[in-house]
Amino acid sequence: MRDLVRGQEPDDWDVATSAPPEAVAALFPESTWVNPYGTVTVRSGPMEVEVTTYRTEAGYRDARHPSEVRWGTRLEDDLERRDFTINAMAWVADDLPAGRGHLVDPYGGQADLAARVLRAVGDAEQRFTEDALRLLRAVRFATTLGLTMDPATEAAATRLAPAAEQLSGERVRDELLRLLAAEEPSRGFSLMERLGLLRVVLPELTALRGVEQGKVLGGDALDHSLRTVDALPATDPVLRLAGLLHDVGKAPTAAGGHFIGHESAGAELVERRLRDLAFPRADIDRVTHLVRHHLIHYTSDWTDAAVRRFLRRIGGGQALDDLLALRRADTAASAGPGVGDAAADELERRLAALRGAAVLSVHELAVGGDDLIGELGLAPGPEIGRLLDGLLQAVLDDPALNDRDTLLRLAGEAVAAGEAGASTHHNTGPGASELV
């Protein structure tokens, strides 16, 4: 109803009824009812509609689950338990075939939307006590809808902010991702800081407040991080998460205006936090990889071999695109959105020229472990892996070496010299090569 009042098409539809859930389920054979709160999921082709029986709740035992749920017969009783006035509105169909009906808005949600105010239904402290997730939902609604929390609601949220510690990682994660998809998520994280929520759900980020770093745009490391998240695309909340957290290692490594090793320290902090928030492994790996490698010290005197080594370390495809996007957002957050990044532009051009032809893993070499075993008479074991790694380093220096006969010769020379190691170096003299 909130979206319709705002003149926007809703993403989904929720239906409330006085009919008990078993009666609703009986009307729709394809429906499912698997929870104790009266919500029946009705399916029609690809569409799903949640139909919930009017209910009243009491005795919230864990800042989320009510101890008692009673089916109701009045819509007004059902709306009374909603979180905010903007979500406590309903459209009652007087004549469904004709499309006629009327708005039920007992708590002034329509007026609050017009005044751009976020207000709790009834007693704000009670609403937040019933479900601590409403603290984060308040931040999200205020941010995505451009609302200001009314004084009583904000005061209650501030008092009860510590209760967010009771929330499961999954519920916090989902709210953070929705917030990161907002047009300007920095507004939400600033509000979370003001309410005291940020130090509960993302304490590593709060620790950046007061960490000075001398950027052109000024502010501390937290200000910079919030500018970075805004500079990344709203269509990719996980990439924005990397932008938000890319500098969290600066707080524990700050020393005399320097942050040596902050990228590695930050990656470790991010790994732990995202695990606690139950992010999928793929998202954790993506974000920690970006945090660990977000510093790019490219200069025009890099050789092509150096660019290939960089490409191997970072990886191609999405990993490289992510890193370049983060680099540009980091630059915009440091010097201003209109400031270009000539170094990143040049590196991207050079990478584009090399990405298709560069050999980045031992699997792309012209020889494999079986070749080394069969041709050189080696036994399977760790030495095979060391030889392949050494050959890869040689090919990164000179892609022309990625030829079966050449690589077998280099490997044979290394074995004969007893110097197989983790990297290969060669000079340009005829037949000259060495593995160290």
Most confident of 72-76, 227-231, 337-341, 363-367: 227-231
215-272, pLDDT tens digit by residue? 888 899 999 999 999 999 999 999 999 999 999 999 999 998 899 999 999 999 999 9
Instruction: State whether residue 175 is helix, strand or coil.
Output: helix
pLDDT at 64: 56
With beta carbons less than 8 A apart as the criterion, state whether 228 and 333 touch: yes
pLDDT for residue 420: 43
- When comparing pLDDT for 380 and 354, which is higher? 380
78-82, 143-147, 173-177, 331-335: which range is least confident on average? 78-82
Least Cα distance to 311 among 346, 268, 348, 345 occurs for 348
pLDDT for res 422? 36
Return the structure tokens found at 193: 């800081």
pLDDT value at 59 more than 60: no
What lies within 8 Å, CB to CB, of 12 at 6+ separation is 48, 49, 50
Distance from CA of residue 14 to its chain's centroid?
27
Give the pLDDT band (50/70/90) at residue 58.
Answer: low
> Comparing 242 with 16, which gets the higher pLDDT?
242
Range in 83-87, 199-203, 350-354, 364-368 the model is least confident about: 350-354
Least confident of 133-137, 298-302, 397-401, 430-434: 430-434
Could you tell me how far CA 87 lies from the centroid of its own chain?
Answer: 26
DSSP, res 220:
B
- Looking at domain 2-114, its CATH class is alpha beta
Domain boundaries, the chain: 2-114, 121-293, 362-435
Fold of 121-293: cca-adding enzyme, domain 2 (1.10.3090)
Portion of the chain with pLDDT greater than 70, in percent: 87
**Mean pLDDT (the chain, rounded):** 86
pLDDT value of residue 430: 27
Q: Tens digits of per-residue pLDDT, 375-432?
A: 988 899 888 988 998 898 888 888 889 899 999 999 999 888 875 443 334 333 323 2
**Which 3 state secondary structure label does DSSP give 331?**
helix
Please report the pLDDT score of residue 308 as a whole number.
86
